[in-house]
Structure formats: C-alpha cells, structure tokens
Amino acid sequence: MQIKNLIDTFRPAENRDVGNKSARGGTASGASTQQSDRVTLSAGAQTLRAAMTAAQASSGVRAERVEQLKHQVETNTYEMNSRRTAEKLVEQESSLWERSV
C-alpha cells in the first residue's frame, strides 16, 4: 500500500483523489462515469435480517396465556418446572443453529 492511499483515507471525501476525478473536482477525461456501490450481506446477516423481519411482523404476545399466567402468579398457584424450561431453551437454541447451517 502506498502512503498516499493511506493518507487519502483520512481526508474528507470532497478532497480525496478518487477514481477518474482530479484533485480539483473535475474529471480526468472530461466525461463523467457513473459507478454504483454494492453491498453484499453474509449468510449470517441475511438470517438475522429474516429473523428481525419476522419478529417485527408478529407481536409475539399470546394475551390469553399472559392472563392465565398472571392469574396463577397472583393466586400463588403458579408452579415453575425448571427442567421443562431448560429443555425448551436447549431445543430453541439447537433449532436456531440448525437453520443457520
């Protein structure tokens, strides 16, 4: 890498010598060329984007179940099954890894 290229990265964009532009802002050949930028997402980023879209499309709240649990907690009848909770967490985690592979 040349030092000039390294220094150009720290200059403001309007002062950089980029592509066919001369340092004064004109074009070297007199004709303007259009270049478009392109972004490519990795597979992981695409999976995350799909998950975020799905999460935003659904409220994810089951009102009937929430009310049922709220009533159980208020009346001290709620019993937590830690083993079942742990199994569901592991199941959910492993299904996330299977989809991303």
Q: Could you report the average pLDDT of every consecutive run of 10 residues in the chain (101 residues)?
A: 54 56 50 79 89 81 89 94 94 80 56
Given a contact cutoff of 8 angstroms between Cβ atoms, the answer to whether 21 and 27 are in contact is yes
Rounded CA-CA distance 71/14 in Å is: 63
Query: Tokens at residue 101, please?
Result: 């592979």
Given a contact cutoff of 8 angstroms between Cβ atoms, the answer to whether 72 and 78 are in contact is yes
Tell me the whole-structure pTM to 2 decimals: 0.30
Who contacts 8 (Cβ-Cβ below 8 Å, separation ≥6)?
16, 17, 18
pLDDT at residue 11 in the model = 59
Rounded CA-CA distance 49/38 in Å is: 18
